[in-house]
Amino acid sequence: MNVFQLKRLLLGQPLSNQMIVHEKITKKKALAVLSSDALSSVAYATEEILIPLAAFSVAAVAWSIPIAMAIGALLLILTNSYRQTIDAYPGGGGAYIVAKENLGVRAGLVAGGALLIDYVLTVAVSVAAGVENIASAIPYLREHKEAAGLLVICLLTLFNLRGVRESATIFAIPTYFFIFSFLVLIGSGAYQLAVGGSPQGVNLIHETYTTIPLLLAVRSFASGCSALTGVEAISNGIPMFREPSQKNAKTTLVYMALILGAFFLGITILAHMYGIVPREGETAISSLARSVFGDSFFYYMIQVSTALILVLAANTAYAGFPRLASLLAKDRFLPRQMAVLGDRLVFSNGILGLSLVAAFLIVMFEGDTHHLIPLYAVGVFLSFTLSQAGMVRYHLREREPKWFQSLIFNGLGAITTFIVLIVVAVFRFSHGAWMVVLLIPAMVLFFTRIHKHYLTVAKELSLVGQNPPGKLTPLKHTVIIPISGIHRGVLDALRYGMSISNDVRACYVELDPEATERLKGEWTKWANEIPLVVLKSPYRSVITPLIHYINDISTITKDDLITVVIPEFVTARWWHQFLHNQTALFIRTALLFNRGKVITSVRYHLRES
């Protein structure tokens, strides 16, 4: 089996262009497909709030509830803002498009860079958190978090390279399973508290809030903002909805926000009531589920459903990243290879790029969610801010009906997310946000450099403004054929040389004068028509004298071109090729940046050896 057959086995047969179809789905299914990223943050956001508080004091943990409420309020503002975006961009208003159209290309590139980083982090964080939840239930995995994370990324890559049609039904299962599981968890927890029969029976209620430093509360808030990642997904996916698609998308967005808010607040309150304190090797969700259910079936159900929705969230990035990369590539801000639709109708290069960077992050941060999350929020809130600010400019310009109300909503969104952005960047700067703060301008620079390169190339190659020649004329060229002796392959090359030019010279580098004499004898017998040039080589290099000769001829003849015809032989088995001198390769490399040279190999195919 060769590598092509292996590819077909793993990825399936190529798909024809006619296979591109657009499935229109109901609100229920759309909720499942588009909200996994947002909902999955319930799995880690509460814990992120608790960690700084618990590190300060046990009593400080009580502050998690007001902080979660503040984040809930932020969710309301965001939801309302994105309802405006849905109205304005029925074709899907990603931050890149909204920022580029309303705030200019540079703002668009900042948003694009932030989003690309976010997609990568969605994969890394979701996979790491998914593995951590399973590892909470199966301690063996704790030692192998990185390996498990890399395995999940490999499977996601393969799955997405195959480009399985996004069957909404399949995606609906884990999402609704998650919603069901967490309803059971929150319901059971609340019921146990209500009847006073908590299995732990400790620390259930702190009525008083101890005084904590304001900065601690802000830091805790900044950590918890990771709950809001993925909220924008529905506004990007409007074309997926059945008609009236905008109305349906807005309704779905509200449902999603309500579920997310309720789960996040519910889990945070329960975690507090049950006295859950973050600890090494077990997630807060796992601790809570264990407190509520003990080591029962329901405990494992919670862990499995959490892991599943996290993997699903990671999978959404595999749709978003390649699509955004292809948009950037079509606008010539990324290498054009990113815009090439592979034979399975997916942007294969984007998928591979995403996997590689996410895998690198998993390895670099040892598969630890807490180390990855601080990098996350900066990009998310930067794209929120740019998107909302873009909407403000949009309303001011377009003045559509009810524009003023929308302006107020988006303005509020822009200001709030901007403040959160600053908070997140400052308070999580030393935990890793600095990387993103440095990376985004670097990416924008990278985008603009690529853009400039493509523009210059297009200009240099362009025929615009030039006059057609009337008639194409052939070029004048001399053929030089380097040889190391005379054999069948050389004769083929000589005959080929004769067929492409009238000025053909064979060229022999002398390493041993006796061999030259023998060659000259053979030459008159076999190839007397073609002049044989013998070059001396004091340093035993074959390449150097040849290159000198080629350059000399090029100067003397003043031809348009020199064609170097290299007789090569191709062995029947590819690894036999290593037994032969790679002279052709060396000549090619030596002349690579040399203008006016065409290098041609005439290959003699060996039969069996």
Q: Which of residues 533-572 bind its own copies (CB under 8 A)?
A: 538-541, 561, 563, 569-571
Interatomic CA distance for residues 29 and 456, integer angstroms? 46
In order, the DSSP letters of 182-245 are HHHHHHHHHHHHHTT--SS-SS----SPPP--HHHHHHHHHHHGGGGTTTTHHHH-GGGBPSSH
477 binds its own copies (CB under 8 A): yes
Contacts of 404 (CB under 8 A, 6+ apart): 395
Interatomic CA distance for residues 352 and 339, integer angstroms? 13
* Residue 207 vs 608, nearer CB to its own copies: 608
22 binds its own copies (CB under 8 A): no
Contacts of 415 (CB under 8 A, 6+ apart): none
Task: Please state the closest distance from residue 124 (CB atom) to its own copies, in A.
Answer: 25
Residue 258 in 3-state DSSP? helix
Contacts of 383 (CB under 8 A, 6+ apart): 95, 111, 114, 115, 118, 232
H or E element that contains 536: strand 532-536
304 binds its own copies (CB under 8 A): no
Per CB under 8 A, which of residues 391..450 are in contact with its own copies?
Answer: 450
581 binds its own copies (CB under 8 A): yes
Stretch that binds its own copies, among 41-49, 145-153, 398-406, 592-600 (CB under 8 A): 592-600
Look at residues 376, 357, 380, 358 and name the one whose alpha carbon lies nearest to residue 428: 376
Interatomic CA distance for residues 374 and 97, integer angstroms? 26
5 binds its own copies (CB under 8 A): no
Say how many Å lie between the first and final Cα of the chain, rounded. Answer: 22
Task: Please state the closest distance from residue 580 (CB atom) to its own copies, in A.
Answer: 7
Core vs surface per residue 441-463: b (16+ CB within 10 A) or e: eebbeebeebbeebeeeeeeeee
The answer to whether 394 and 98 are in contact (CB under 8 A) is yes
Taking CB under 8 A as the criterion, the residue among 346, 530, 562, 587 binding its own copies is: 530
Stretch that binds its own copies, among 85-93, 193-201, 374-382, 522-530 (CB under 8 A): 522-530
H or E element that contains 531: none
Per CB under 8 A, which of residues 315..354 are in contact with its own copies?
Answer: 335-337, 340-343
Interatomic CA distance for residues 115 and 233, integer angstroms? 12
251 binds its own copies (CB under 8 A): no
162 binds its own copies (CB under 8 A): no
* Residue 140 vs 578, nearer CB to its own copies: 578
* Residue 28 vs 336, nearer CB to its own copies: 336
* Residue 258 vs 475, nearer CB to its own copies: 475
600 binds its own copies (CB under 8 A): yes
Task: Please state the closest distance from residue 448 (CB atom) to its own copies, in A.
Answer: 13
Look at residues 354, 363, 297 and name the one whose alpha carbon lies nearest to residue 326: 354
Stretch that binds its own copies, among 66-74, 152-160, 232-240, 576-584 (CB under 8 A): 576-584
Q: What are the tokens at 90? A: 């029925």
17 binds its own copies (CB under 8 A): yes
Task: Please state the closest distance from residue 111 (CB atom) to its own copies, in A.
Answer: 22
Task: Please state the closest distance from residue 337 (CB atom) to its own copies, in A.
Answer: 7
500 binds its own copies (CB under 8 A): yes
* Residue 99 vs 562, nearer CB to its own copies: 562
Look at residues 65, 68, 88, 62 and name the one whose alpha carbon lies nearest to residue 206: 62
Taking CB under 8 A as the criterion, the residue among 128, 481, 494, 507 binding its own copies is: 494
Number of residues that bind its own copies (CB under 8 A): 79
53 binds its own copies (CB under 8 A): no
471 binds its own copies (CB under 8 A): yes
513 binds its own copies (CB under 8 A): no
Task: Please state the closest distance from residue 323 (CB atom) to its own copies, in A.
Answer: 17
Q: What are the tokens at 537? A: 């080589």
472 binds its own copies (CB under 8 A): yes
Look at residues 284, 32, 54 and name the one whose alpha carbon lies nearest to residue 174: 32
Q: What share of the chain is helix, strand, coil (3-state, %, to 5)?
A: 70, 5, 25
Stretch that binds its own copies, among 35-43, 75-83, 346-354, 498-506 (CB under 8 A): 498-506
Stretch that binds its own copies, among 277-285, 354-362, 378-386, 598-606 (CB under 8 A): 598-606
* Residue 558 vs 607, nearer CB to its own copies: 607
Taking CB under 8 A as the criterion, the residue among 454, 533, 547, 557 binding its own copies is: 454
* CA distances in angstroms from 522 to 46, 407, 486, 589, listed in the order given: 86, 89, 8, 31
